[in-house]
Amino acid sequence: MSAKSEPATPAHARIAFIGGGNMARSLIGAQLARGVPPASITVAEPRAEAREALAREFAVPTFSDNAEAVAGADCVLLAVKPQVMRQVCESLAGPLRGAHTLVVSIAAGVRIAQLERLLGADHAIVRCMPNTPALVGAGASGLCANRHVDDAQRALATRLLDAAGIVRWIDDEAQMDTVTALSGSGPAYFFLLVEAMEDAAVELGLPRATARALATQTCLGAGHMLADSDETAAELRKRVTSPHGTTAAALDVFEQGGFAALVGRALAAAEHRGAEMSAELDHAR
């Protein structure tokens, strides 16, 4: 890799994935669906069985060694758990030294300053928080860049992530823990609500399969309405809430139980845990 090489256009960039888990697989699949040739993508994955599965499913080159995977890459995407980020970055600091390579991290709680300390302060780094709906092309990702990321690299990061859903750039990295609490962890909150609705309907006498189908489709339809409408969630809620009707009766119970405050405390707890994870990386050895 050479620091003097011309930057690749987003459509023709060479991308190296460090880690071949579910999120990486979703992003690889999304790139291939856009017409990116498999030869432009490499994957480093320590498990032999996982490497074989990736090569078989996507026909991309796979490696057990991180340095081999990043050779010649325009973008390196770190798709590893925060607990192993120090070890991974230490294996890449040498191979990436002096290269004009964009580094994208999707690890929760790992801050740009920490990546700069591990990789070198002159690297172009984007911190990203995607979520699991990216697995079905419906993800939501918040991105934050350091000062070394140029316009072409920002476009590359956008193209990499928006292939699997929407992308929103965050100017203040301090807000990334909020993004993690909102959209990163958010799918689990949604699944919990659907689970509770299904269980409650079964308690009231509906067969499990019927309750699950109706709860799932109801939430899917409501999500589509919100995504496709110019109205806010509050406005749509008011439209389906007739005075003294069944919906109003249910919403009154939510309000009496402190639903909004409970959600606020839940997001604050997730945000706080993100900060703790960052501190744990600083103290890890």
Residue 136 lies in a domain: yes
Q: Indicate if 225 and 98 belong to the same structural domain.
A: no
Residues 119 and 208 in one domain: no
Q: Give the torsion sign (CA, 79, 80, 81, 86).
A: negative
Q: Residue 60's pLDDT is what? A: 96
| Residue 279 within any structural domain of the chain | no
Answer yes or no: do 141 and 201 share one domain.
no
Domain identity same for 51 and 125: yes
Q: What is the pTM of this model?
A: 0.87
- Among the candidates 139, 158, 176, a domain finishes at 176
The CATH number that applies at residue 213 is: 1.10.3730.10
Burial 79-96 (b: 16+ CB within 10 A, else e): bbebeebbebbebbeebb
Residue 223 lies in a domain: yes
User: Do residues 97 and 137 share a domain?
Assistant: yes
Domain that holds residue 214: 186-271
Domain assignment present for residue 283? The answer is no
| Per-residue tens of pLDDT for the chain, all 285 residues | 444 444 555 667 999 999 999 999 999 999 999 899 999 999 999 999 999 999 999 999 999 999 999 999 999 999 999 889 999 999 999 999 988 899 999 998 899 999 999 998 899 999 999 999 998 989 999 999 999 999 999 999 999 999 999 999 999 999 999 999 999 999 999 999 999 999 999 999 999 999 999 999 999 999 999 999 999 999 999 999 999 999 999 999 999 999 999 999 999 999 999 888 888 777 765
Q: 199 and 164: one domain?
A: no
Single residue among 135, 158, 176 that ends a domain in this structure: 176
- Whether 215 is covered by a domain: the verdict is yes
Alpha-carbon distance of 199 to 193, in angstroms, equals: 10
Could you tell me if 38 and 169 lie in one domain? yes
Task: Mark which of 156, 176, 196 sits at the end of a domain.
Answer: 176
Number of domains composing the chain? 2
CATH number of the CATH domain containing 55: 3.40.50.720
Query: Is 281 part of any domain?
Result: no
**21 and 90 share a domain?**
yes
Note whether 148 and 239 are same-domain residues: no
Chain centroid offset of residue 152 CA: 21
Domain membership flag for residue 2: no
Q: Is residue 220 domain-shared with residue 260, that is, in the same domain?
A: yes
Q: What is the pLDDT of residue 1?
A: 44
